[in-house]
Chains A and B, each alone.
Chain A
Amino acid sequence: MEDIFTIRDLNLYYGKNHALKNMDIALKKNKVTALIGPSGCGKSTFLRCLNRMNDLIENCTITGQIIYDNDNINVEKYNVIELRKKVGMVFQKPNPFPMSIYENVIYGPKCQGLTDKAILDELVEDSLKKAALWDEVKDRLNTSALSLSGGQQQRLCIARTIAMDPDVILMDEPTSALDPISTKKIEELMETLKNNYTIVIVTHSMQQAARISDYTAFFLMGEIVEYDLTDIIFSNPAQQQTEDYVTGRFG
């Protein structure tokens, strides 16, 4: 099976704090990979390496190779705009822009210079359908995105990411701010999305990881303790620490 991301000897420092240590991992294409582990173990930091979001943080140094599409993206000269067009991100708290629903979806493509109204209309409909939101909002595309419920806002953020036609969607605890019903909808959505996209999701909920992911990586204190098929991680992990965590003995 094809790997979409190959990470070799990745180390990350916030100032002197060694946050990610010697990570080697290959993420599979068109699969859902869940990153689990206790708070502060580096899973979000790792996720943000994949679209170079850590660039925004001062005093953050990253060494090692992050190979995406045969190119090492962890070099200064790599075009980070192109990378982020292909590797989208959905955040922990729904963060639609305070614009209309329509404007939210076309934000990315518009920044790339797409202005043809007909194409944009089609893109909005298509993206919202893929994000399972179209039926709920098709009559009020021009109302403020902030008038939507939290769960709808999060699906709008997914639609906004899909509108860029990415290869990969990174999700940083996308349901942690949502109620159980909205969470279920997002999880069902991920199920359909994985046919077309590679999904890497950070989650605090082990049940969620077990339900939705194909592969799971267990992070602890800045290291990847174990990475395998989700079924194996949850039923027969190789490491004692993994077993302790997934059975709820700590964390």
Chain B
Amino acid sequence: MLNHKFGINFVKYAMYLSLILLIAFIALIIGYIVLEGLAQLNLDLLISSNPLIVSTLMLIGIALIVAIPLGIFSAIYMQMYAKQGRIISLIRFSIDSLTGIPSIIYGLFALSFFIYYFGLNRSIFAAGLAMAIVILPVLIKNTEEAIKTIERSQIEASLALGATKYDTVTKVVVPFCLDGIINGVILSIGRIIGETAAIMFVIGTLNGFPTSIFEPSATLATHLYLILQEPTYAQGGIQEAYSLALILLLIVIILNVLVKFVEKYFKKKRGY
């Protein structure tokens, strides 16, 4: 009895401890970036990093616009329409494997496929396509998992009411897996914002304020990477890097909050 109680307490305290450690680490990271970043952040720097912010947002926009429909449609097709068999299993296995590939491989592919083979300019657009490929497996996986959680009886209820498969998919399946899609989008935004290797070679170099998506540019993350590579980083470059990191962090938070609002809006509109 005593041992049993000790065991329960041990597990309880172990859980508390891990939670405290987790919070401490997050607070440490965020606090450090915020403090170091704020110390250096001034109006000049904010203005000078404007092009980076804009091109980062453009990149996110392009990648999501390309990947969201593709991801959702593929997931719906694989879960709802395709005959489950060897081919679908193989595709699923490939998608799982794609999520584990180092991003430099995607970079290499994007460079040789979009730039050399198709002759696209190094641009935000090319980088957006590259990122769309990177996040596609994430979106498909999340949507598929969400579709799997829909109770079979919900789908049957819809069909039993004389709804077509199309109606069932648009009115029952998609709204219900909204959570999963949103989750995938949030993960994707994080992935795009932080990505360097997959886009470094296809986005080109910063060329002032991006006036078009077909121009070369740089994102916050790729610029950060470059700063840290330069030999001058010891003389102030590192401080600039912290401010950029702070801006990055803020963008991630703001975008995630925005996405959550979109989710709330859709849910409210559907009345649940």
Contact = CB atoms under 8 A, between A and B. Distances in A.
A33 interface: no
B114 interface: no
B162 A98 contact: no
A122 to B, nearest CB: 19
B149 to A, nearest CB: 12
B159 interface: yes
Interface of B is mostly: helix
Contact of B172 (A82, A97, A146): A97
A88 B162 CA distance: 8
A161 B161 contact: yes
A108 B161 contact: yes
Contact of B157 (A58, A91, A100, A142): A91
A56 B80 CA distance: 11
A107 B270 CA distance: 12
User: What range describes how many residues of A lie at the interface?
Assistant: 20 to 34
B160 A51 contact: yes
Interface string A61-99: 000000000000000000001101100110111010111
Interface in B215-261: none
Residue in A88, A91, A160 whose Cβ sees the most chain B Cβ within 10 Å: A91
B89 to A, nearest CB: 14
A39 interface: no
A81 B164 contact: yes
B153 interface: yes
A111 interface: yes
Given A95-B154, A99-B270, A144-B271, A89 B160 contact: yes
Given A111-B167, A144-B271, A157 B157 contact: yes
10 contacts: A53-B156, A84-B161, A92-B153, A100-B272, A103-B270, A103-B271, A111-B163, A142-B271, A157-B157, A161-B160
Interface of B: 83-84, 151, 153-154, 156-164, 167, 171-172, 176, 270-272
